[in-house]
Amino acid sequence: MLPATIQDRFIQIIVDFSGQIIEIEAGFFALSEFIEGTSIYATCPFLESTLDSLPSQESFSMDGMLINSGNEEYNVDVELLKTADSIAVLIINRTNVYKYVRELNQNRNEISIVKHQIDRQNKELAELRKVAEKATEEKSRFLAMMSHEVRNPLNAILGYANMIATESNCPSALGYVKSLLMAGNNLKVIVNDILDISRIEAGKLELVIEPISIKETVQMCVQDFELQHKGSGVPLECTISEKIPSEVLADAVRLTQILSNLISNAYKFTKKGSIKLTVSPTSETDESVTIALNLKDTGRGMTTEQVNRMFNEYEQVELNDNRVYGGAGLGLSIVKRLVEAMNGNITVESEVNIGTSFNIEIPFRKVSSSDLAPNNFLKSRLFKHDLKGAEILYADDDELNHVIVAHLLSKEGASTTLVNDGMEALSALQDKTFDLILLDINMPNKSGSDLIQEKQLFAEFNGSTPIIALTANSNKEDIENYKNLGFLEVISKPYTPDQLISVVSTYYEK
């Protein structure tokens, strides 16, 4: 005998061909609805037309039917078997099963709806990503164009200002030129900061790691500021520990940028007293050394609140700092990001009317025998070379740049042939051998990039002559592209006289 729990879930009934209930064979499900001698159609009206058409001796199933019993509705599956004189009707209660199926279908529908929403959102995100990428490309293109349009005239402004400063004996003129140089250098810093923050936001700022001398890098940076602020009454004192390794692996340009931003900031807000830079190792292993750079000034200082927000982009300590001192409020933000990119950290201590102290610690890997040779450009700045007798070709469509470059080279004893574009340069290169070729990148008729790719056209006289690019396009991708084309070095505008002569001297000797 079957257990009661099982019998409660089904009922088996024998009916005649007209649907009259002959016998309840087994089961208790909805038993009160099925009485012998009554019609099964009262409870199962869906069987009325089905019983008449049943084939003999063949099982027939009907799934998902509904019956009512005791004011409740049940889902049932029905199996029918027609014999010679009667029909067996098996009714199985599937209410719970169909409940779970309904819930499952509902969940499936909800999942389908959610999936559809996710797919739609993914498509929207993909479209937004395309829009953002296009906007980033347009922004980069705009910045590259603006870089060229701003840097080129800025190079002329700073170049002529430097020429006047070195040759004028008029005290009042020197005062004007000093102000002009300061304004030009401030503009240069702003242009560089805007481009750098854009590269950082786009994730395109990469460090160029190579063997450098920390001592030489710091000394050159300090020398530049000493020249700029000579006679300011605020001395820049620099102390470099002898325990620092002679060379480490680092990005000299970015390290200089960090120091330049901090020293420039210190000079802006220090009207009396001094600025002190201390460089020393804090820890060292066989493979690496951590170097601390501490810059302390006796300027106006800052409150705790001002210190907490000083690394924010476009942030100025005082509301009128931009008007009085210039700058875009990006320098310190870039300093922090560059220090962090070098796996270092920066902290600030400041007291109003006492001064400010910046403390930076950066880990550097020591140079091993497998690393590249030291940076020649750094050494060339410390050890000047004689250009006397050098024959140099300079191609640029800007006559202001012609005057500046020719003047600087002639002071070093070099002879310069000036041409206005790539076509004129090609003609000159096919007629005469030069010791060095300087090509501006953006020129009419034939650009510097186009000309260097046609090197076979002037190979007879200048097949092995070093070629250097001068350009306002100074991002890493552009510089790598120019070097891949065959340029030995890239001088970024605006450049200082020292930078130009240093690079020219280095490759002239080769």
Same domain, 360 and 211: yes
Give me the CATH number covering residue 271: 3.30.565.10
Same domain, 225 and 333: yes
Residue 50 structure tokens: 């089905």
pLDDT at 380 over 50: no
pLDDT of the residue at 423: 95
Give me the CATH number covering residue 453: 3.40.50.2300
Longest dimension (CA), the chain: 134
| Residues 457-471 pLDDT 10s | 999 999 999 999 998
pLDDT of the residue at 375: 45
Same domain, 122 and 251: no
Same domain, 72 and 107: no
Same domain, 173 and 89: no
Q: Average pLDDT in the 412-441 region?
A: 94
**499 vs 40 pLDDT, higher one:** 40
**2 vs 325 pLDDT, higher one:** 2
Same domain, 123 and 56: no
Residue 454 structure tokens: 């046609």
| Residues 306-361 pLDDT 10s | 888 888 754 555 544 443 344 445 678 888 888 998 999 999 999 998 999 999 99
Give me the CATH number covering residue 157: 1.10.287
Same domain, 479 and 396: yes
pLDDT band at 396 (very low <50, low <70, confident <90, very high): very high
Same domain, 146 and 61: no
Residue 217 structure tokens: 């890098």
User: What is the total count of domains within the chain?
Assistant: 4
**180 vs 308 pLDDT, higher one:** 308
Domain housing 462: 384-509
What is the overall mean pLDDT for the chain?
Answer: 85
pLDDT band at 75 (very low <50, low <70, confident <90, very high): very high
pLDDT of the residue at 308: 86
Q: Average pLDDT in the 412-428 region?
A: 94
Same domain, 183 and 215: no
Residue 496 structure tokens: 């200082």
What are the residues facing 228 on neighbouring strands? none
Same domain, 67 and 107: no
Q: Average pLDDT in the 264-281 region?
A: 92
Residue 170 structure tokens: 């008029």
Given 378, 412, 447, the domain boundary residue is 378
> Do residues 503 and 377 touch, judged by C-beta distance below 8 A?
yes
Same domain, 351 and 247: yes
Same domain, 212 and 323: yes
pLDDT band at 426 (very low <50, low <70, confident <90, very high): very high
Least confident segment among 67-81, 299-313, 415-429: 299-313
Whose tokens are 């889902």? That residue is 75
> Do residues 279 and 293 touch, judged by C-beta distance below 8 A?
yes
Long-range contact pairs involving 406-414 (C-beta distance under 8 Å, separation at least 24): 407/163, 408/159, 408/497, 408/500, 408/501, 409/501, 409/504, 412/386, 412/387, 412/388, 412/501, 412/504, 412/505, 413/386, 413/387, 413/388, 413/389, 414/387, 414/388, 414/389, 414/390, 414/504, 414/508
Whose tokens are 């993914």? That residue is 122
pLDDT at 109 over 70: yes
In the chain, the amino acid numbered 421 is D
Given 93, 123, 146, the domain boundary residue is 93
pLDDT at 77 over 80: yes
Give me the CATH number covering residue 29: 3.30.450.20
Given 198, 221, 245, the domain boundary residue is 198
Angstrom CA distances, 131 to 146, 201, 345, 361, stand at: 22, 16, 35, 40
Q: Average pLDDT in the 240-256 region?
A: 90
